[in-house]
Amino acid sequence: MRVLHAAAEIFPLLKTGGLADVIGALPAVLRSQGADVRLLLPGFPAIREGLVELETITGVGPAFGAAQLFIRRGRVPGSDLTAYLLEAPWLFDRPGNPYLDRDGSEWRDNYRRFAAFGWVAAHLAYGEFDPGWRADILHCHDWHCGLAPAYLHAHPASRVRSVFTIHNLAYQGYFPLEEFRELALAPSLLSPEGLEFHGQGNFMKSGLVFADRLTTVSPRYAQEICTPEFGSGLDGVLSMRRSRLSGILNGVDYQVWDPENDPWLPASFSAFALEGKAVCKAAMQASAGLDQNPRAPLFAVVSRLADQKGADLLLAALPALVRQGAQLILLGTGERFLEEGFAAAAAAHPRTVWARFNYDEAMAHRMVAAADVILVPSRFEPCGLTQMYGLRYGTLPLVRRVGGLADTVVDADAMVFPSGSGGETEGTTATGFVFERATPIALEAAIARAIGVYADVDRWRQMMRNAMSRDYSWAASAVQYRDLYESLLVSPARQATATSV
């Protein structure tokens, strides 16, 4: 089984979110399970400089506004995973964020940049750029690769099957429709039955309509996005393709996130040797200038500061958290008013609240290890990895009951009843705290519950052990992807795409 994964990021070379963590782990696990997996990545400077043993295998152009596009083949460092690089300096050699200009706006030619990426993905999968290898499956990740299934669909002779994974439906890649007319797409693909969406072209919709199978990154999110509340305007399209849509939970790379072997921690620990976690907490309190109180509940946020992530809810609930004697540490960037709000809170409560507005992988590890509670109060969350990192480190997640958060966190008040038990309780499998409504009041109540449980040392320690025993490694999820690929390979014909959408 030959599988080409096409994605815009990969950890540790380039990361703006959870997509990079997925691509940094899933292909390698699939390869270890016997699949011939390769990657296609765009030639952003950090990726180009990080790949090793690169050699140019072909070039094309002019195309997509660039004089030349080069396809290079190399290897992901520290592995035997083959990676192809789309090198096009005109399109990808830009400083800072890979998607945004210095002023925070999208690069105006993003439609060209990622159309080129999708076009190369389709032709590489078909075997045109590397004569020694062609794919059975092209696995496209998020809107950046949304046009690849359309390019495949336009070529009836192609036997490559496509899988399109939605990592976050809110980011869709939509641009004026007239700009799509220069992207080597047949006019029929630009219709409402194709990638046109309310008068614009939409990369995400292209993936949803033209891919053979659709997946999301958690089972619950697959259900949610078929509703108006979570569908970001595409719920109708998704409902029509529901029989081809499934949710496969993201995993965690436990070689990277492991409190027993984490090089960034001041002390290691495990579920039955927790002393090192107290050392991590004390070190964090000291470095952040917080009160050195081992019994003060320490809450952590490692997140984008955005509406999706519920950062405004936390800012509104922060006074209540402080009044109850808890502490907060925060790492992230995002909307200016949120950064200013948390900065003001840190200035007003320097011994209780600490905030840093950047992203630092080492600091993220230290914060997750040090905290007692990891806060993820999202309005919607396709999967969420932060809460799973918290579980591994005995840092109990406090989350809203949405998406992958609901799939991975068991509330402190949930009881388990054995099948046929007649109702007697077997005990709790609690691993965190879950709240329902996206309001500051609901979040405050969940924080108060967590602080109350924290006062019960024995109960808290049992919940920590419950959390640390959960296995969210990639192995099980990779098997589900492999089964999905195999189901496509035995299909006698290309799966029908949605029509009249």
Instruction: Quote the pLDDT of residue 453.
Output: 97
293 and 232, same structural domain?
no
Instruction: Quote the pLDDT of residue 490.
Output: 85
Q: Write phi, then psi, for 491 (nearest 5 degrees).
A: -70, 135
Instruction: Quote the pLDDT of residue 415.
Output: 54
Instruction: Quote the pLDDT of residue 499.
Output: 41
CA distance 12 to 236: 36
Answer yes or no: is 385 within a domain: yes
450 and 403, same structural domain?
yes
C-alpha 308: how far from its chain's center? 13
Evaluate whether 114 touches 143 at the Cβ level (below 8 Å): yes
CA distance 171 to 51: 27
C-alpha 496: how far from its chain's center? 28
Answer yes or no: is 395 within a domain: yes
280 and 388, same structural domain?
yes
Enter the tokens of residue 290: 């917080």
The end-to-end CA distance of the chain, in Å, is: 33
For 357-416, write each residue's pLDDT tens digit: 998 999 999 999 999 999 999 999 999 999 999 999 999 999 999 999 999 999 999 754
Instruction: Quote the pLDDT of residue 427.
Output: 46
| Domain carrying residue 302 | 275-472
Q: Among the residues of 8-109, which ranges form H helices?
A: 18-32, 45-50, 89-92
The series of mean pLDDT values per 10 residues for the chain, 501 residues long, is 97 93 96 97 97 97 95 96 97 92 90 98 96 96 98 90 97 95 92 95 98 98 97 97 97 95 98 96 98 97 96 98 98 95 98 96 97 98 96 98 97 62 52 98 98 97 96 95 95 47 41
Q: Give the three-class secondary structure for 8.
A: coil
Answer yes or no: is 265 within a domain: no
282 and 237, same structural domain?
no
Q: Is the dihedral of CA 401, 405, 406, 411 positive or negative?
A: negative
Instruction: Quote the pLDDT of residue 17.
Output: 87
How many CB atoms within 10 Å of residue 333? 15
Evaluate whether 263 touches 270 at the Cβ level (below 8 Å): no
How many domains are contained in the chain? 2
Instruction: Quote the pLDDT of residue 491.
Output: 63
Q: Write phi, then psi, for 429 (nearest 5 degrees).
A: -115, 30
445 and 307, same structural domain?
yes
Answer yes or no: is 263 within a domain: no
Answer yes or no: is 268 within a domain: no
| pTM exceeding the 0.75 threshold for the entire prediction | yes
For the domain that residue 82 is a member of, what is the CATH number? 3.40.50.2000
Answer yes or no: is 257 within a domain: no
DSSP string for residues in 393-444 = TT-EEEEESSHHHHHH--BTT--B--TTSTT---B----BEEE-SSSHHHHH
How many CB atoms within 10 Å of residue 499? 10
281 and 245, same structural domain?
no
- The percentage of residues in the chain with a pLDDT greater than 90, rounded to a whole number, is 90
Q: Write phi, then psi, for 500 (nearest 5 degrees).
A: 55, 50
Answer yes or no: is 393 within a domain: yes
For 66-78, write each residue's pLDDT tens digit: 999 999 999 999 9
Least Cα distance to 387 among 256, 403, 114, 497 occurs for 403
135 and 29, same structural domain?
yes
Evaluate whether 473 touches 186 at the Cβ level (below 8 Å): no
Evaluate whether 175 touches 107 at the Cβ level (below 8 Å): no
140 and 97, same structural domain?
yes
200 and 129, same structural domain?
yes
Answer yes or no: is 260 within a domain: no
227 and 211, same structural domain?
yes
293 and 437, same structural domain?
yes
CB under 8 Å to 20, separation ≥6 — which residues? 9, 10, 11, 14
Q: Give the three-class secondary structure for 55.
A: strand
236 and 167, same structural domain?
yes
Helices 457-469 and 440-454, interaxial angle, to 10°? 110
